[in-house]
Structure 1
């Protein structure tokens, strides 16, 4: 299909804008990875870690501290970091040759989907704050830099490992960034003192948006898990009732982290009898579809956290009745 000159120019500008958020002095992540792997390939872990610190994190310190490792929120980040890095370095021999192509694929997907996203949300940034990096603990993630600025990070190595469908993942994450900037719903709704209804709303709305921008996919594809897409529609009232029992719980609860996990986390074993893990994503999508009968997408995207929480509670109660 022929692309108009104005759209082509937008693509070029958007591709140029996808740079490390720590500053223009940082090299491309492909250049950094090649330098890292040249020094680290076949070496003991401590030497690999030293090369990683020097070539990957040193020029991207803020985003690694604030978004990747979440040093301020996680008292155990150092131990987790070592475990994650050791596991990821072990996979790089099989991944290394394909990482540059994956970085390019992510850049291309971001550029194309950003143009489409701005058509759906005209007030979205022309140059959204996005960085492509390497990370062993997520594939794509919204976060907040030390300055308070929202940012979106794509981990090319994790996306490559997952064989991720970028036309689904990218618009989903673009919405999380947009939502943080325009409605103050940050960290995908997992905010201090936020009840569980907020991540339910946030993930449901982002999944809905990805379906709008990547039409033709099944629910299983949009939810990144066929088992979620196979949940029968007639189970919706029962699942809504089950969620309502947890709805007032905090998304971040150091004493009861299992409440959030049983609705939103992946794990080898099921958290709930008769429900696949991450069922909160499925339920969130159904809640958004229910709310769309009354509200436009633009209206819902503009709701404050308090408005979103109230609307979700009302919808869950009506769905479960």
Structure 2
């Protein structure tokens, strides 16, 4: 039976507290069902044809540039093929009913998250497309695509289910709040510097990452009204030892002006912001996403000085830099 794309249409018509959201949530559940009805048991060529027809045709720009990285990778076609083969293999082995329920769970969570934003950040004028879509093999992320000048929040259904199969959890609510907070932060700040990924690659410094990710971690606690590490740091419970803050602050001060994204030596930023870094140069006991945590500590320090979020969320990177350095020096001297 042919099914049609489910759109929680302009959740902009969710008018909470007179705050009209222009958020479109596109749920690919029914399109995925159409795809798998056609593709199950077929060879890869036939499966890919069905995928293109039922999935990527919904928004080709989103898939080309957000999911597959066409703009920044010379091997995106090869990587796409490898990923799709792995995904099609996974789809053939999983409990499909359970997988499809995940789409419903994401949809329900997004509705709740928007209510939280309305309650805690009524100034947030969201104009974004949220994609509950297959093919996103990481937890999720926010990006503005210059090709169509649209802003997307893509949520990783397949990554969530991979965790589920491993007996792990990928907490949907804080992850969604975290990624939406990047968008909120950028709307407040107005893309003063980080206008595009190209600019981030060309001019970005590592402290940009610290500021942006630390802000999203802080924002997850603020919007979710929950500062438990397991919540704000997406399930990495019990891994962060405050007695080691001084050690990491000293090291980050040395790396402050390294490239935000170093394509020649990826370890230079992955050691701080990677979730699964083997032989981390920062030390074998370094927790995952230590830069996210350290950025949060920096912002909590700024907040403790009596600076309101309405002020520090407006800072561009150069305005934030002296405050970041000041906090890292304070943290480095604490024991």
Question: Which TM-score tier does this pair reach, normalised by the shorter chain?
Answer: 0.7 to 0.9
Asked whether the 8 Å contact 1:198–1:308 carries over to 2, the reply is no
Asked whether the 8 Å contact 1:263–1:280 carries over to 2, the reply is yes
Aligned to 2:96, the other structure's residue is in SS state helix
Alpha carbons of structure 1 residues 77 and 9: separation in structure 2 relative to 1, 3 Å: closer
Alpha carbons of structure 1 residues 243 and 9: separation in structure 2 relative to 1, 3 Å: closer
Asked whether the 8 Å contact 1:144–1:187 carries over to 2, the reply is yes
Question: Pairwise CA RMSD of aligned residues?
Answer: 2.7
**Alignment TM-score, normalising by the size of structure 1:** 0.85
Task: Specify the alignment match of 2:187 in structure 1.
Answer: 181
Task: Specify the alignment match of 2:172 in structure 1.
Answer: 166
Alpha carbons of structure 1 residues 47 and 268: separation in structure 2 relative to 1, 3 Å: farther
Task: Specify the alignment match of 2:156 in structure 1.
Answer: 155
Alignment pair present for 1:245 and 2:254: yes
One of 206, 209, 214 as aligned partner of 1:199: 209
Cα separation, 2, equivalents of 1:35 and 1:176: 33
Structure 2 portions without partners, runs of 5+: 1-12, 164-168
1 or 2, which has the higher helix percentage? 1
Alpha carbons of structure 1 residues 88 and 99: separation in structure 2 relative to 1, 3 Å: same
196-205 or 101-110: bigger deviation = 101-110
Aligned to 1:252, the other structure's residue is in SS state coil
One of 299, 306, 313 as aligned partner of 2:311: 299
The offset of 1:280, in angstroms, is 0.9
1 or 2, which has the higher strand percentage? 2
CA offsets 1:158-188 (integer angstroms, 9 cap, x no match): 2233332222111111101212333225689
Aligned length: 305
The offset of 1:14, in angstroms, is 8.8
Asked whether the 8 Å contact 1:139–1:158 carries over to 2, the reply is yes
Asked whether the 8 Å contact 1:196–1:247 carries over to 2, the reply is yes
Cα separation, 2, equivalents of 1:16 and 1:42: 40
One of 232, 248, 264 as aligned partner of 1:255: 264
Aligned to 1:263, the other structure's residue is in SS state helix
Cα separation, 2, equivalents of 1:63 and 1:280: 28
The offset of 1:219, in angstroms, is 0.7
Asked whether the 8 Å contact 2:22–2:125 carries over to 1, the reply is no
The offset of 1:92, in angstroms, is 1.4
The offset of 1:217, in angstroms, is 5.7
Asked whether the 8 Å contact 2:126–2:184 carries over to 1, the reply is no
Alpha carbons of structure 1 residues 154 and 211: separation in structure 2 relative to 1, 3 Å: same
Cα separation, 1, equivalents of 2:261 and 2:132: 27
Cα separation, 1, equivalents of 2:139 and 2:196: 14
Structure 1 segments of 4+ aligned residues over 6 angstroms from their partners: 13-16, 186-190
The offset of 1:32, in angstroms, is 1.0
Aligned to 2:327, the other structure's residue is in SS state helix
Task: Specify the alignment match of 2:45 in structure 1.
Answer: 46
The offset of 1:189, in angstroms, is 12
**Alignment TM-score, normalising by the size of structure 2:** 0.82
Cα separation, 2, equivalents of 1:149 and 1:132: 16
Cα separation, 1, equivalents of 2:149 and 2:329: 35
